[in-house]
Amino acid sequence: MIIRGGRPLKGTVSAGGSKNATLPIMAAALLSDSPSTISGIPMVRDIRTMSELFCILGANSYIDSNMMHVQPNTINNFKAPYELVKTMRASIYVLGPLLGKYGRAKVSMPGGCAIGLRPIDLHLLAMKKLGAKIEIKHGYVEAVAKKLRGARIVFPKVSLGATVNATLAAVLAEGKTVLENASKEPEVYDTINFLKAMGAKIEGSGTGTLEITGVRKLNGVTSYTVIPDRIEAATLIAAAVMTKGRVTVNNVNTAHLSLFLDKLKEAGAAVTACNGLVRVAPHKGRLTATGIHTEPYPGFPTDIQAQWMALMSTAAGDSIIKENIWENRFMHVPELGRMGADITIDGNTAVVRGVKKLSGASVMASDLRASAALIIAGLSAGGETEIRRIYHLERGYEALDEKLRSLGASVDILPEDGL
């Protein structure tokens, strides 16, 4: 990606549907015998990969204009192969539905962005508690169960993925399942809403304790729209703030971004939120250095940490950023340094000493959110920024370059060989 920076963004843009909600909702659709239609999905690589996995399992799945149709009653294969799972961690979500409905699953150990160790031990803990026999052979999780049975599962730490997978497994289990220390993330709430629309009995969404009473069968959902992508919305808002632009971002659930928006105001950004949109106006002078520490929802999202660091790189003063979720999520720091940022790392803490201006440079993206941070930095930097390995961006953002160009940014994507 080539960015010629220094241009304030102007105009109106819309965030797409949530990737992190769509993926578990797609997995939930496998639990029914009848078809489901999911609307508002983002056309990103992870969604296409999950759809391809469905086809390998035997489900009839296709995407048509941000809408996905899933016909699960043709499933005849219970193996999620390494070739697909290695590219996308969310493939592990098929473990719960296959085990809960068919009593067996063979899923490759997952992959994804290299932001740190992401073990699936909590997923396997939940399946074992529900009565599954688990073996790990040759890089695959092999799980079998004649019939899952409800259980009390206490997660030693909050995990969105484990909460989702346990819920997907428990909705067809015999009896009641109680999940304690469950994730409160909006994407979990959206998945639960979809399951309830299918006929699942789930109580306690958003409280940290879920009570799931198993049912005999679930029905497809003829029309369900996923929630807006709070991370994409935050990225677009951050880009507008960083360039001192005047931008309206539509399709935003502002309640899901309340802490982020509060932090922006604390830093001096001119942002207002109302009726599903956020307006950004140019702020005076430099932002004020403002620290954050990442935590599970409703704390500050780890998926916005890199973007926040880009914002703070030109703020007045020193910001302290603590990453409490992933141990390798500071890989964008050396690249921001190439653009003139002054950042020091000590363990899980980064101290950002704001400089007056960044300068364009040749940098390399290491993961999905690092890509977004480098783009935000490049949009405000003087001169030209060249971002290599931008393919990471395709995993979680739909046509971000086009959206930025619609706001007046000078952005081009070239083939890697052309750089």
Q: Which residues are catalytic?
A: 113
Identify the DSSP state of 146. S
Residue environment code for 326-338, b if the CB has 16+ CB neighbours within 10 A, otherwise e: beebbbbbebbeb
Report residue 301 CA to chain centroid gap: 10
Which residue is associated with the tokens 């790392």? 345
Residue environment code for 90-125, b if the CB has 16+ CB neighbours within 10 A, otherwise e: bbbbbbbbbbbbbebbbbbbbbbbebeebebebbbb
Q: Which residues partner with 151 through β-bridges?
A: none
Gap between the Cα atoms of 32 and 392, Å rounded: 33
In 3D space, the residue among 164, 165, 176 whose CA is nearest the CA of residue 203 turns out to be: 176
Which residue is associated with the tokens 């916005």? 304
Report residue 193 CA to chain centroid gap: 18
For 38, the enclosing helix (H) or strand (E) is: strand 36-39
Q: Is 285 exposed, middle or buried (0-12, 13-18, 19+ CB in 10 A)?
A: exposed
Which residue is associated with the tokens 């997923």? 123
Decide if 201 contacts 212 (C-beta within 8 A): yes
Q: Is 131 exposed, middle or buried (0-12, 13-18, 19+ CB in 10 A)?
A: middle
The tokens describing 357, both together, are 């201006």
The tokens describing 89, both together, are 């961690």
Report residue 403 CA to chain centroid gap: 19
